[in-house]
Amino acid sequence: MVRRFITLVAGIAGVSIGMASIAGRQVADVPKAPADPYAGESNWTTGAHDKAAVTASDAASRPSEVRIRRASDSHFYADTRVQGRQVRMLVDSGASLVALTRNDAEAIGIDVDRLPIGGTAQTAGGAVPLRTVLLDSVDVDGITIRNVEAAVVDANMGVSLLGQSYLAKLAAVNVEGDTMTLR
């Protein structure tokens, strides 16, 4: 199972390059954010954030932090709302994008077969297509990020992944003991 996730992450990394142009078009209408004090830093927890993806009204109404307890399998799972629908995700800081299972994508109303194929991921079962999509919003207990790059994976991953296209837009992600804190 871990090998599948590692292989999936490698495939998703390739898709993120193609998604950059899509995200750029969607965010173009949002006013420019003030200069980022972390510009040029490569650490994803303190590096450049996509401030345009979080509006002032979002920031004022969202909680300052969310705590997630470690599950019995040693992973962290977040009960998210994607496009307003509940989706359970494995928090995966090694995944470049939010990666949705086909079942989760269809459950939130995405017509998977109409999405463009943006690449492939190598899994234990062989190569599987990645279909790129830009999600209107992803929310974890009140921390909502808009215009989130994602991929739908046509493989039996078992669970969707909450990757860097969401996590990197947060102020911080910390793990202490059995608690992950999102800010």
- Residues 168-175, mean pLDDT to the nearest whole number: 97
Collect all residues with Cβ–Cβ distance below 8 Å to 35 and sequence separation of at least 6.
none
Model pLDDT for residues 104-163, shown as the tens digit of each residue: 999 999 999 999 998 887 766 788 889 999 999 999 999 999 999 999 998 878 999 999
Q: How far is CA 152 from the centre of its chain?
A: 11
Contact 135/84 with Cβ under 8 angstroms?
Answer: no
Four-residue CA torsion sign, 97, 99, 105, 108: negative
User: Residue 134 has what pLDDT?
Assistant: 96
Where do the domains of the chain lie? Answer: 2-182
Q: Which of 106, 109, 129 is nearest to 119 (CA)?
A: 129
The CATH code belonging to domain 2-182 is 2.40.70.10
Q: Does the pLDDT of residue 5 top 60, yes or no?
A: no
Model pLDDT for residues 10-59, shown as the tens digit of each residue: 444 443 433 333 333 333 333 333 344 334 433 333 333 343 344 434 44
- Give the 3-state secondary structure of 132-164: EEEEEEEEECCEEEEEEEEEEECCCCCCEEECH
Model pLDDT for residues 65-96, shown as the tens digit of each residue: 999 999 999 999 999 999 999 999 999 998 98
DSSP string covering 23-72: HHHHHTTSPPPPPPTTTT---TTTS---GGGS-HHHHHHS-S-EEEEBPT
